[in-house]
Amino acid sequence: MTMLEPCQTSYDLAARRAEFPILHQQVHGRPLVYLDNAATSQKPQAVIDCLQHYYSQDNANVHRGVHCLSERATAAYEAARDRVRAFIHADRREEIVFVRGTTEAINLVAQSYLRPRLQPDDEILISTLEHHSNIVPWQILCRQTGARLRVIEISDAGEIDQASFQRLLGPRTKLLAVGHVSNALGTINPVAEMIEQAHTQGVPVLVDGAQAVPHLAVDVQQLDADFYAFSGHKVYGPTGIGVLYAKQALLEAMEPYQGGGDMISKVTFEHTDYNQLPYRFEAGTPNIAGAIGLAAALDYVDAIGLAAIAAHEQQLLEYGSDALQRVPGLRLIGTARQKAGILSFVMEQAHPHDISTVLDQFGVAIRAGHHCTMPLMQRLGLPATARASLALYNGPDDIDALVAGLQQVCRLFGDR
Ligand code: PLP
């Protein structure tokens, strides 16, 4: 097989790569090729510096102290909230709740918003594409309330079946919870249209944006999303920090998710008055450094521009799809018309775990498994896929290294 010509682009890939120190190392004697970005992305020096600065200069608890460090930490933490608000184009800072990640955001909505509003036989609507984080919290809720989980079908290409959506959306539906971009297949779902349709029936919508925020410009007001969740660590920020965006009117009508410090305005043994938004939903000491680091990551992404990142990644996705399809015995899984950042595949010759073990020996990091989408794998009739997932620092040379590793898989495992 001949290597493809690197794609032509004005994107300054070398400059981008230089900003990520972790990429400049060898793994098993080969230059690291990191293609596991859907699991977590690497951090630019700007984020690392920001965390180092925070812990070496400003570290203190927020909101409670009157001393200088606490005021600095509070100012930086609240500035991070403003940064997130601007990044996703929310209307108000009160609508930005810092959480641990997408998982916690969805659990918060399940327990604080939906649980008190559900009756037995009410329905929660999700799609076949969902990550376990957007399945299991609803199942727990169904067990607690007697409500039912309904699942929108998908096509073999991995696109949401709109006819199935129309059929299932009905008077019993109390929430639509849908991923913006599939972590297993890369499908970009038409969430704006789905939100519009759900709203015609008075159904609120939660969008799981974990895989969208690193790749697409998100405007929660334009989408008219009621809830939008994402994780900092997938958008070049720290682990342990994420965001729940929720429309203010919804947050105002919700009970707190957890009780503790900071979420109160007055406590007696008889009664507690809760704090104003968004603090009512941030019980306990938050991940202060995480929020500040996330803001640095969003600054970093904005300085490059999501349009430039998306164009670069889209070009790379096409290059990668072409290159992979030339590997003997390889089948791409997930061929939706609109995709972002994911190349999922299986090979006749080898199990995905064997593929990723061989690739690791070449310094190429990909993921193999069910990608926390077991029901999707069942629908596709597969136990697992191998998945290469892209970030702004990947280039055609990374795809070439992946393909070279896959050729080695072909040699090692031969015809089956
Ligand atoms: N939703 C999707 C689509 C994801 O890809 C992930 C993580 O892989 C999650 C939710 C969960 O994110 P986290 O583990 O950061 O809470």
Q: Are residues 340 and 386 in the same domain?
A: yes
* Residue 39 forms part of a structural domain: no
pLDDT digits over 122-169, tens only?
Answer: 999 999 999 999 999 999 999 999 999 999 999 999 999 999 999 999
Whether residue 320 is found in the same domain as residue 275: no
Residue with tokens 């609507």: 125
Q: How many Cβ atoms from other residues are within 10 Å of residue 233's Cβ?
A: 25
Backbone angles phi, psi at 389, to 5 degrees: -125, 140
Q: 394 in a domain, yes or no?
A: yes
Structural domain includes residue 269: yes
Would you say residue 400 lies in a domain?
Answer: yes
Total number of domains in the chain: 2
φ and ψ at 60, to 5 degrees? -165, 165
Would residue 38 count as lying in a domain?
Answer: no
Query: CB count, 10 Å around CB of 117?
Result: 14
pTM: 0.97
Question: Are 257 and 244 a contacting pair, CB within 8 Å?
Answer: no
Whose CA is closest to atom 8 on ligand 1?
A: 39
Based on the fold, state whether residues 134 and 197 are members of the same structural domain.
yes
Per-residue pLDDT at 10:
82
Last residue of a domain, one of 268, 303, 338: 303
Residue type, 160: I
pLDDT for res 67: 96
206 bridge partner residues: 177, 227
Do 242 and 328 share a structural domain?
A: no
The enclosing domain of 296 has a CATH number of 3.40.640.10
Residue 41, in any domain of the structure: no
Range of the domain at 84: 48-303
Ligand 1 centroid–CA 314 distance in Å is: 21
Same domain, 356 and 208: no
**Of all protein residues, whose CA lies closest to atom 14 belonging to ligand 1?**
103
Q: Does residue 5 lie in a domain region?
A: no
What's the confidence (pLDDT) of residue 1?
35
Determine the distance separating the centroid of ligand 1 and the alpha carbon of 161, expressed in angstroms.
22
pLDDT value, residue 3:
40
Give the separation between CA 79 and CA 328, rounded to whole angstroms: 52
Residues 375, 128: contact at Cβ < 8 Å?
A: yes
Residues 261 and 362 in one domain: no
**Both 254 and 389 in a single domain?**
no
Question: Is residue 372 flagged as an active site residue?
Answer: yes
Q: Which residues line ligand 1 (CB under 6 A)?
A: 38, 101-103, 131, 133-134, 179, 183, 208, 210-211, 231, 372
- Residue 130 alpha carbon, nearest atom of ligand 1: 3
| HSE-CB of 302 using CA atoms within 13 angstroms | 13
CATH of the domain at 320: 3.90.1150.10
End position of a domain, from candidates 273, 303, 333: 303
* Ligand 1 geometric centre to CA of 361 (Å): 27
Provide the phi-psi class of 18: left if phi over 0, else alpha when psi is between -120 and 50, else beta. alpha
Work out which ligand 1 atom sits closest to the CA atom of 39: 8
Task: Look at residue 80 in the predicted model and tell me its pLDDT.
Answer: 98
Closest CA relative to residue 298, chosen from 89, 13, 10: 89
Domain edge (last residue) among 303, 327, 354? 303
Peptide bond into 278 cis (omega under 30): yes
- In a domain, residue 280? The reply is yes
* Same domain? 95 vs 139: yes
The atom of ligand 1 lying closest to the CA of 234 is 15
**Same domain as 84, residue 212:** yes
Say yes or no: 235 and 366 in one domain.
no
Nearest CA to ligand 1 atom 6: 210
Q: What is the pLDDT of residue 117?
A: 98
* Distance (Å, whole) CA 291 – CA 385: 33
Pair 218, 358 in one domain = no
Residue 334's SS3 state is coil
Catalytic residue among 7, 50, 142, 372: 372
pLDDT beneath 70, residues of the chain = 1-9, 415-416
Q: 210 alpha carbon to ligand 1 midpoint, in Å? A: 5
Ligand 1 atom having least distance to the Cα of 233: 15
Note whether 220 and 329 are same-domain residues.
no
